[in-house]
Structure 1
Amino acid sequence: MRLLNRLNQYQRLWQPTAGEPVQATVAELAGRCFCSERHVRTLLNQLEAAGWLTWRARSGRGKRGELTFLVTPESLRSSMMEEVLHKGQHQNALDLAQIAPEQLRHLLQPFLGGQWQNDTPTLRIPYYRPLEPLQPGFMPGRAEQHLAGQVFSGLTRFVTHSTLPQPDLAHHWQVSDDGLSWHFFIRSTLHWHSGEAVETSQLQQRLLMLLTLPAMRRLFISVKTIEQPHAQCLQFVLHRPDYWLPWRLASYCSRLSHPDDAQLGCGAFRIASFQESLVRIESHESYHLSHPLLKAIEYWITPALFDTALGTSCRHPVQIAIGQQDDLVHLRPVSNSISLGFCYLAIKQNGSLTPQQARMLMQIVRKHEVIATLPVEESLITPSTEMIPGWTIPDWQTLENVALPPKLTLIYHLPVELHAMARQLKQHLAALGCELTLIFHDAKNWADCAALDDADILMGDRLIGEAPEYTLEQWLRSDILWPRLLSGAQYARLQATLDSVQIHPDNATRYAGLKDVFSSLMKEAIVTPLFNYRYQISAPPGVNGIELNAWGWFDFTQAWLPPPSMS
């Protein structure tokens, strides 16, 4: 980018005097720009022709000329960035931002939020960390899980305000009377983001690839085969009835990418750029459902922004703000909710704690206000009173004179609030004569946690999707936590119970059976929810259609910006 190099050189000329007029020799100016005298003369002529400065040379070797600056580097960067964004040159915009990290905040502010660029409605979101590449199956990050739902489609899907799966790639489905054969009838007008028509055999191939992943195989353990009886149909043949199957296929982990390219989907948005500093998705012209009104969504990964009140996504990932510095006073919460997901504490069975000691520990967490006095911002979390709505935490009888073991080990992973929770619990147990060793697993789930078997107590985060009852069943089926937490007999009994629950066609019966499972796990002091998050999205006037979903994000297909003439 030639203009970027020229701006870089102009910055070097400007910096020593902060834009004040200066008298200097050509040799001195060449030294500032790390170039030859001949080149700096050419540069000065170009910058003067562009109207950036004036240079009055004096004849004679070593004579000082007068350099006067006419515009600031900041104003030049801003106008150049606006120009390249209007042209859709997003990489050039990133390059412009990276040349002045100390001024990145001021440079990007005018371009965040919702704007029309080159007649294209675009929403730019400041974000606090790089996004992990989207991959088939389970992903730990909440932002990545949400993004997968915008880029990829499944045979079925969840929609806002409903816990029941709806048609997606499949137009509809049928199940046999015995519940062992499911036919999903595939739409005939599907296209991948590349423009290639979707073939049913490609969907079958990707589904079979998913089932090679251990966690996905545990989730679909009842599936015997996936067959293609005709060109527009996929048939699932089961070992045992599983009336959760449409729910399993609607989950983000079951969204289908192209079998030859894991980044290529057929959802409402396609990936246009996936870099450490910028993720851009654009609307898919051949999308098979309702088309979004926004043309593009951009995540601007700018950690330098997150030390001020630029946006609450900068302050904490559960509270997202969309907007620019001048609009901050106008930002208003457009949607907020208490997360269905929760942080939890679990106690390993057949370990150092007896059942009575486990209940005693649970009482310490609940009765001693360990959660209520956590040193975290009050607006971020709220203590849990139930696993999910209607699944209340048991009220144990107070246990007295139950001594805890002299030493215990707690392993916990992200989010960061569990740091404070771990320290709080360590302090309370020390007062009872129990030394608590803390081990932090720096991840968002238990994958690759070598110390998991050494834990007496575990703390983690459980995200809840659009169908809370099913999501908890999925947790019990797929998470490696449970075979490590329970004894072999307990885990086998749990899986057998889940098998007996899934065979019921009636949704209410399955929900009730699953509630009994978790009521037992809580009553036996195996697991308890600790706190929920307070999700919030704030946006400036003019960004419409934003409503929090189960992931603490919003459906990009529903957001819209009024045309410039109407805003």
Structure 2
Amino acid sequence: MRLLNRLNQFQRLWQPSAGEPQQVTVAELAARCFCSERHVRTLLNQLQDAGWLTWHAQSGRGKRGTLSFLVTPESVRSGMMEQVLHKGQHQNALELAQIAPEQLRQLLQPFLGGQWQNDTPTLRIPYYRPLEPLQPGFLPGRAEQHLAGQIFAGLTRFTSNSPVPQPDLAHHWQVSEDGLNWYFFIRSTLHWHNGEPVETTQLQQRLMMLLTLPAMRRLFVSVRSIELTHTQCIRFILHTPDYWLAHRLASYCSRLAHPEDNQMGCGPFRLSSFKENLVRIESFESYHLCHPLLKAVEYWITPQLFDTELGTSCRHPVQIAIGQQDELVHLRPVSNSISLGFCYLAVKQNSNLSPEQARFLMQIIHQQQLIASLPVDESLITPSVEMIPGWKIPEWDSCKTVPLPPRLTLLYHLPVELHVMAQQLKTHLADLGCELNLVFHDAKNWTGCEALVQADLMMGDRLIGEAPVYTLEQWLRSDVIWPAILTETQYTHLQATLDAVQVHPEESARHVGLQEVFSALMRDAIVSPLFNYRYQISAPPGVNGIELNAWGWFDFTQAWLPPPTMV
């Protein structure tokens, strides 16, 4: 990249005097730039023509000339980035940024937020960590789950205004009277992101591949086979009726990638770049539903942005802000809500805690203001009073102190607030004569966690999607924590109960049945929500169509930017 090389050379000339005029020989400049004297003279002429510096040479070999600087490397770099971004050369912009990582934070700020790039609307979002690859099935991160929903499509889908599944790749579906045969009628005008038509056999193939994943197989345990009854029809044949099937297919984990390419889908956006420092998605012209209003959305991965003074998305993952440095004072909350998802505490059965001790422990947490007194920003979390709206935490009668075991082990994973909660609980239990051993699992879920077998208590984070009741059923079906928490008999009974609930065609009956399951789990002090997050998105004037969804993000297809003011 010529621009980067030229900027590197200019930086080498600048550094010895930090921009002050220099008395220097051509030979010294050549050594500084690792080139010949002839080349450095050419370089000086080019930089002088560009208006970056002035060079007044003295006649005679070895004579010192005067080198004066008219601009700073930072201003040159910023101008270059604006130039290459306007041309859509995103990788060149990142290469320019990488030459000075200590200044990356300040450098990127002018280019974040809503921008018109090469006459197309682009939204750039700063993000605090690299995104993990979008693999089929369950994904651990909220950002990855949301992104998968923007890139891939499923047979059905959820929308923000309805918890009931809506058509997606299938324009509608039918269910046999016995509930054992589900027919999904596939749209005839579908295309993959590479422009090739979607063949129904490809969708069937990817569905079968999903069912080879252990967690997905647990989720679709009622499915006996997936068959093609027509070139535009897929039939699910079930062992037992499952009226959650359309919900399961609408979940992000069931979105369908091309059977030969995990990164290619047929959703509203196609993946253009997936690098450690930049993820870019672009609108897909052949999308089968409502087309996005933006041309592109970019995640600029800048760990240095994890700074409370910036007001960026990296202040905290649940509070996203979109905007550039000189606009931050104008940012205003455009959407906020209390998350349906929650952090929870679970008690392993047949562990060191008796049922009476487990209830006493839950009372300590909920009745003694442990959560409200956590040393975290009060704008981030709120103590839970119900699992989801209407499913309230049991109100146990206050009872006398119950002696706890001398030692317990608490296992917890991300988010970081659970570390604070663990320390608070450790201190409080120590006052009650119980030593709490803390074990941290550095991940966002329990997949691959071998320490589950040794723990007495577990704390984790449960994300809740667009259909809250169904999402909780999915949690019981698929999460590896439940066979670790429950005894074998309890776990078998739980799965049998879920089987009995799913056979009800009426959604209200399934809701009642599942509420009874969770009411019993909370009443027996097996699991309890701890706190919910306060989701918030802020944006500067001019970034429109942003509304929080169930994942704490916003639907990229609805965001839009007004055209730049005509001069």
Asked if 2 retains the 8 angstrom alpha-carbon contact of 1:357 and 1:403, the reply is yes
Q: Deviations over 1:392-411 (max 9, x none)?
A: 00011223242111000000
Asked if 1 retains the 8 angstrom alpha-carbon contact of 2:312 and 2:323, the reply is no
Query: Letter of the aligned partner of 1:415 in structure 2?
Result: P
> Which residue in the other structure is 1:405 paired with?
405
SS of the equivalent of 1:158 reads strand
| 1:436 CA displacement | 0.5
Q: How many residues align?
A: 567
Does 543-552 or 297-306 show the bigger shift? 297-306
Q: Deviations over 1:346-369 (max 9, x none)?
A: 000011111111111111111121
- Rounded to whole Å, the distance in 2 between the matches of 1:312 and 1:51 is 34
Asked if 1 retains the 8 angstrom alpha-carbon contact of 2:501 and 2:514, the reply is yes
Asked if 1 retains the 8 angstrom alpha-carbon contact of 2:268 and 2:284, the reply is yes
> Which residue in the other structure is 1:362 paired with?
362
Query: Letter of the aligned partner of 2:277 in structure 1?
Result: S
**Residues 43 and 498 of structure 1: CA distance in aligned 2, closer, same or farther (over 3 Å):** same
> Which residue in the other structure is 2:208 paired with?
208
> Which residue in the other structure is 1:505 paired with?
505
> Which residue in the other structure is 2:52 paired with?
52
| 1:314 CA displacement | 1.3
Residue 186 (1) aligns with residue 196 (2): no
SS of the equivalent of 2:297 reads strand
SS of the equivalent of 1:164 reads strand
| 1:12 CA displacement | 1.3
| 1:566 CA displacement | 7.2
> Which residue in the other structure is 2:217 paired with?
217
- Rounded to whole Å, the distance in 2 between the matches of 1:384 and 1:237 is 40
> Which residue in the other structure is 2:232 paired with?
232
Q: Deviations over 1:53-80 (max 9, x none)?
A: 1211112232101111122222211221
> Which residue in the other structure is 2:105 paired with?
105
- Rounded to whole Å, the distance in 1 between the matches of 2:19 and 2:256 is 55
Q: Deviations over 1:103-161 (max 9, x none)?
A: 22222111110011111100000000000110100000000000000000000000012
- Rounded to whole Å, the distance in 1 between the matches of 2:312 and 2:63 is 54
- Rounded to whole Å, the distance in 1 between the matches of 2:310 and 2:418 is 25
> Which residue in the other structure is 2:145 paired with?
145
Q: Deviations over 1:372-391 (max 9, x none)?
A: 11010000000000000000
| 1:39 CA displacement | 2.5
- Rounded to whole Å, the distance in 2 between the matches of 1:439 and 1:41 is 62
**Residues 64 and 308 of structure 1: CA distance in aligned 2, closer, same or farther (over 3 Å):** farther
> Which residue in the other structure is 1:332 paired with?
332
- Rounded to whole Å, the distance in 2 between the matches of 1:219 and 1:179 is 17
Query: Letter of the aligned partner of 2:313 in structure 1?
Result: S
Asked if 1 retains the 8 angstrom alpha-carbon contact of 2:381 and 2:531, the reply is yes
Q: Deviations over 1:307-348 (max 9, x none)?
A: 253234111000000000100111000000000000000000
- Rounded to whole Å, the distance in 1 between the matches of 2:118 and 2:111 is 13
Query: Letter of the aligned partner of 2:320 in structure 1?
Result: I
Query: Letter of the aligned partner of 2:406 in structure 1?
Result: P
- Rounded to whole Å, the distance in 2 between the matches of 1:238 and 1:465 is 25
Asked if 1 retains the 8 angstrom alpha-carbon contact of 2:360 and 2:401, the reply is no
Q: Deviations over 1:401-441 (max 9, x none)?
A: 42111000000000000000000000111001100000000
Task: Tell me the TM-score normalized by structure 2.
Answer: 0.99
> Which residue in the other structure is 1:517 paired with?
517
| 1:476 CA displacement | 0.1
> Which residue in the other structure is 1:372 paired with?
372
Residue 316 (1) aligns with residue 316 (2): yes
Query: Letter of the aligned partner of 1:506 in structure 2?
Result: E
Asked if 2 retains the 8 angstrom alpha-carbon contact of 1:126 and 1:311, the reply is no
Q: Deviations over 1:274-332 (max 9, x none)?
A: 00000000000100000011000000001122225323411100000000010011100
Query: Letter of the aligned partner of 1:227 in structure 2?
Result: E
Q: Deviations over 1:444-463 (max 9, x none)?
A: 00011111100000000000
> Which residue in the other structure is 1:453 paired with?
453
Structural mapping, 1:250-289, within 5 Å: 250-289=250-289
C-alpha RMSD of matched pairs (Å): 1.1
- Rounded to whole Å, the distance in 1 between the matches of 2:513 and 2:308 is 48
**Residues 566 and 499 of structure 1: CA distance in aligned 2, closer, same or farther (over 3 Å):** farther
- Rounded to whole Å, the distance in 2 between the matches of 1:407 and 1:120 is 61
Identity of aligned residues (%): 78
- Rounded to whole Å, the distance in 2 between the matches of 1:304 and 1:250 is 36
Q: Deviations over 1:242-274 (max 9, x none)?
A: 000000000000000000000000000000000
> Which residue in the other structure is 2:2 paired with?
2
Asked if 2 retains the 8 angstrom alpha-carbon contact of 1:269 and 1:283, the reply is yes
Does 300-309 or 500-509 show the bigger shift? 300-309
> Which residue in the other structure is 1:22 paired with?
22
SS of the equivalent of 1:544 reads coil
Does 252-261 or 29-38 show the bigger shift? 29-38
- Rounded to whole Å, the distance in 1 between the matches of 2:137 and 2:305 is 32
Asked if 2 retains the 8 angstrom alpha-carbon contact of 1:190 and 1:287, the reply is yes
Does 41-50 or 172-181 show the bigger shift? 41-50
- Rounded to whole Å, the distance in 2 between the matches of 1:23 and 1:381 is 59
Residue 558 (1) aligns with residue 563 (2): no
SS of the equivalent of 2:541 reads coil
Query: Letter of the aligned partner of 2:231 in structure 1?
Result: A
> Which residue in the other structure is 1:169 paired with?
169
Query: Letter of the aligned partner of 2:362 in structure 1?
Result: M
Asked if 2 retains the 8 angstrom alpha-carbon contact of 1:281 and 1:297, the reply is yes
Residue 396 (1) aligns with residue 396 (2): yes
- Rounded to whole Å, the distance in 2 between the matches of 1:369 and 1:307 is 29
SS of the equivalent of 2:160 reads coil
SS of the equivalent of 2:444 reads coil
> Which residue in the other structure is 1:92 paired with?
92
> Which residue in the other structure is 2:245 paired with?
245
- Rounded to whole Å, the distance in 1 between the matches of 2:37 and 2:385 is 73
Query: Letter of the aligned partner of 2:484 in structure 1?
Result: R
Residue 468 (1) aligns with residue 472 (2): no
Does 359-368 or 292-301 show the bigger shift? 359-368
Asked if 1 retains the 8 angstrom alpha-carbon contact of 2:126 and 2:312, the reply is no
**Residues 397 and 183 of structure 1: CA distance in aligned 2, closer, same or farther (over 3 Å):** same
> Which residue in the other structure is 1:424 paired with?
424
Query: Letter of the aligned partner of 2:544 in structure 1?
Result: N
Structural mapping, 1:115-126, within 5 Å: 115-126=115-126
- Rounded to whole Å, the distance in 2 between the matches of 1:201 and 1:267 is 18
- Rounded to whole Å, the distance in 1 between the matches of 2:336 and 2:174 is 37
- Rounded to whole Å, the distance in 2 between the matches of 1:168 and 1:444 is 29
Asked if 2 retains the 8 angstrom alpha-carbon contact of 1:241 and 1:503, the reply is yes
SS of the equivalent of 1:299 reads strand
Asked if 2 retains the 8 angstrom alpha-carbon contact of 1:310 and 1:324, the reply is no
Residue 61 (1) aligns with residue 61 (2): yes
Query: Letter of the aligned partner of 1:413 in structure 2?
Result: H
Which runs of no fewer than 5 residues in structure 1 stay unpaired? none
- Rounded to whole Å, the distance in 1 between the matches of 2:119 and 2:394 is 57
Does 253-262 or 77-86 show the bigger shift? 77-86
Which runs of no fewer than 5 residues in structure 2 stay unpaired? none
Query: Letter of the aligned partner of 1:239 in structure 2?
Result: H
